[in-house]
C-alpha cells in the first residue's frame, strides 16, 4: 500500500448503501412469507425421518443470498448406527 492509497481512501457510506439496498430488496419481497429456510428445514427433516432416524442437530440448512443467484446448502449427517431403516430398529 502506498501513501497515495491512504489519501484516496473513500468513506464506508457507499458500502453501507449498497448492502442496505440488496438486503431490503430481499426483505421486502419476503415480508409476507414465512422464513423460507426454516420451512425447508422442517420439510426436509420430515422426508428424511420417514426413512432414517436422524437428530435435528445433524441437519444444517443455510442460504447464502447473492444479487443474481443464491446458494442453498443442505448438510445432513447420518450417524452410522442409526442409519438402519426404522423398521429394523423397532
Partner 1 sequence: MGKVVVVTSGKGGVGKTTSTAALGAAVARTGKRVALVDFDVGLRNLDLIMGAERRVVFDLVNVIQGTAKLSQALIRDKRVETLFLLPASQTRDKDALTEEGVGEVIEKLSSVFDYVFCDSPAGIERGAQLAMRFADEAVIVTNPEVSSVRDSDRIIGLLDARTVKAERGEQIAKHVLVTRYDAARAARGEMLSIDDVLEILSTPLLGIIPESQDVLRASNLGSPVTLSDPTNSAARAYIDAAKRLEGEELPVVVPFERKGFLDRLLGRRAA
- Closest approach of partner 1 to the CB of residue 43, in Å: 26
Among 1, 3, 28, 71, contact with partner 1 (rule: CB under 8 A): 28
By the rule CB under 8 A, 90 interacts with partner 1: no
* Interface with partner 1: number of residues (CB under 8 A): 16
Looking at residues 46 to 85 of the shown chain, list those that interact with partner 1 (rule: CB under 8 A).
Answer: none
Tell which residue, 36, 35, 82, 34, has the closest CA to residue 58: 82
C-alpha cell at 25: 430488496
Amino acid at each position: 500500500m502506498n501513501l497515495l492509497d491512504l489519501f484516496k481512501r473513500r468513506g464506508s457510506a457507499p458500502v453501507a448503501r449498497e448492502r442496505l439496498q440488496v438486503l431490503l430488496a430481499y426483505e421486502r419481497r419476503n415480508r409476507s412469507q414465512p422464513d423460507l429456510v426454516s420451512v425447508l428445514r422442517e420439510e426436509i427433516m420430515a422426508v428424511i425421518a420417514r426413512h432414517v432416524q436422524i437428530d435435528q442437530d445433524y441437519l444444517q440448512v443455510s442460504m447464502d443470498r447473492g444479487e443474481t443467484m443464491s446458494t442453498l446448502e443442505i448438510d445432513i449427517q447420518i450417524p452410522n448406527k442409526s442409519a438402519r431403516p426404522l423398521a429394523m430398529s423397532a
